[in-house]
């Protein structure tokens, strides 16, 4: 039995069966970001200075690098989900699809660039 209205079925509108997944991932990343974002802000504020040497030493420290990677990936994922909801609400038609694809690619690029940057500093520090 389908719960969709006959009109909805004819128009091919309605659930694409991804709603729960999106909802759940938004919550999962929210829960993870509570401690991760607080850690990030507090440790940034606790740095004695923001010069290159201090920041490099901080980033090269194993636990920092690990938490930074987790923070950036979770934040990018959460941001992608959040921005997508806003786009779905305010952008319509073909432009919506284009914007969603762009926003997914942009977030992937950000996440990859951040991980590469963190690893570069972390591995440089280890040698």
Partner 1 sequence: MPTRPLSPHLGVYKFTYTMATSILNRITGLGLSVGLLLLVYWLMAVAGGERSYARALGVLSSPVAKLVYAGLVVAFCYHLTAGIRHLIWDTGRGLERAQSRASARVVIAVSILLMLLIAYWVWFGGAHAS
| 121 scored as a contact of partner 1 (CB under 8 A) | yes
Q: What dihedral angle (degrees, nearest 10) is formed by the CA atoms of 19, 84, 82, 108?
A: 110
101 binds partner 1 (CB under 8 A): no
Can residue 36 be called a binding residue for partner 1 (CB under 8 A)? no
Binding mask 37-76 for partner 1 (x = CB under 8 A): xx--x---xxxxxx-x--xx--x--------x---x--xx
For partner 1, the closer CB: 1 or 100: 100
* 8 A C-beta contact, residue 14 and residue 4: yes
Token pair of 72 as six digits: 């950036």
Element (H, E) at 65: helix 62-90
The verdict on 92 binding partner 1 (CB under 8 A) reads: yes
CB neighbourhood size of 69 (10 A) = 16
Q: What angle do CA 104, 109, 111 make, to 5 degrees?
A: 95
Q: Minimal distance in Å, beta carbon 51 to partner 1?
A: 8
Residues of this chain that interact with partner 1 (CB under 8 A) are 11, 27, 30-31, 33-34, 37-38, 41, 45-50, 52, 55-56, 59, 68, 72, 75-76, 79, 82-83, 86, 89, 92, 110, 113-114, 116-118, 120-121
């Amino acid at each position: 039995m389908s719960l969709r209205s006959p009109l909805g079925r004819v128009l091919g509108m309605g659930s694409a069966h991804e709603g729960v997944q999106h909802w759940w991932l938004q919550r999962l990343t929210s829960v993870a970001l509570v401690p991760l974002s607080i850690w990030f802000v507090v440790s940034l504020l606790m740095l004695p200075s923001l010069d290159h040497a201090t920041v490099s030493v901080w980033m090269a420290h194993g636990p920092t690098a690990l938490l930074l990677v987790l923070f950036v990936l979770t934040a990018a994922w959460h941001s992608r989900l959040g921005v997508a909801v806003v786009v779905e609400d305010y952008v319509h038609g073909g432009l919506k699809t284009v914007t969603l694809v762009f926003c997914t690619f942009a977030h992937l690029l950000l996440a990859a660039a951040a991980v590469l940057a963190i690893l570069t500093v972390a591995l440089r520090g280890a040698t």
